[in-house]
Amino acid sequence: MATELLFERDSYRKEFQARVIEVTPEGGVILDSTAFFPGGGGQPCDLGELSSTGQRHAVIRAGRMGADIIHSVEGRPPAVGTWLTGRLDWERRYQLMRTHTAMHVLCGVIWRDYGALVTGGNMEPLLGRMDFEFETMHQDLVHEIEQTVNAEVALARPVLVDVLPREVAFEIPDLIRTKINLLPESIQKVRIVEIKGLDLQADGGTHVANTSEVGRIRVADYKSKGKINKRMYIELERVA
């Protein structure tokens, strides 16, 4: 029985009810459904808690094990069959959603305007870095990209999610924006994230529903990481 991945369809799910279906020998908790994102594609895993009557278990890590998500908890794990309430550290999750969408805006602008592929990336709440196939990068270019990226955010573009059969998904031109296709052959359903009118690519992470939620993006720094590999660092503003 595979874990139902609630975050795949609804990134705004903060709380959920689930039953423990397995406890691993290491004490990891597997649920029949979860809103905890297990990390991947440069996005860190979610944190939060699992609770039942009289007990709380801090979730200190979530990770994949095949089709399941393992929740690593502090202390003794709940027993198989226990019904739990899961709650995300929502402030952190939402910051990661904003950051991930910001990176897709950046990727979309650079692909559309400069034809550069992504060679790597990583993020933390409100901070991200992305590597592109640029031969040269300079301050004027970085300023131009920053202005264009923020103009796209201000257009309040909807962010849409769909899941397609692999053969259908790979008929979409330029679906994979990374230099190397990281989707293993075993994955037969591909999750698609589209920023309407700007970007469309395979992605498994969590995103905001509209670019207007991203807020202002600042390109904080850039550096060369090789002959045709340039790195850009972004920061997002904090919002109340």
| Domain ranges across the chain | 4-88, 93-236
How does the average pLDDT of the chain come out, rounded?
92
Residue 176 pLDDT? 64
Determine the Cα–Cα distance for residues 123 and 207; give it in Å rounded to an integer: 13
Instruction: Look up residue 148 and give its two tokens.
Output: 């264009």
What string of H, E and C letters represents the secondary structure of 36-73? CCCCECCECCCCEEEEECCEEEEEEEEEEECCEEEEEE
Q: Which of 195, 191, 233 is nearest to 214 (CA)?
A: 195
Mean pLDDT of 180-189: 63
4-88 CATH pick, 2.30.42.10, 2.40.100.10, 2.40.30.130, 3.40.50.300: 2.40.30.130
Classified as helix, coil or strand, 98 is: helix
Is the per-residue pLDDT at 179 higher than 60? no
Is the per-residue pLDDT at 180 higher than 60? no
* pTM for the full predicted model: 0.92
Residues ≥6 apart with Cβ < 8 Å to 124? 44, 96, 99
201 within 8 A of 104, measured Cβ to Cβ: yes
Residue 14 pLDDT? 97
Confidence of residue 170 (pLDDT cuts 50, 70, 90): confident
Residue 165 pLDDT? 82
Residue 120: CB atoms within 10 Å = 15
205 within 8 A of 38, measured Cβ to Cβ: no
Residues ≥6 apart with Cβ < 8 Å to 44? 96, 123, 124
Residue 177 pLDDT? 59
Is the per-residue pLDDT at 147 higher than 80? yes
Q: Letter for the amino acid at 183?
A: L
Determine the Cα–Cα distance for residues 240 and 230; give it in Å rounded to an integer: 33
- Domain 93-236 sits in CATH at 3.30.980.10
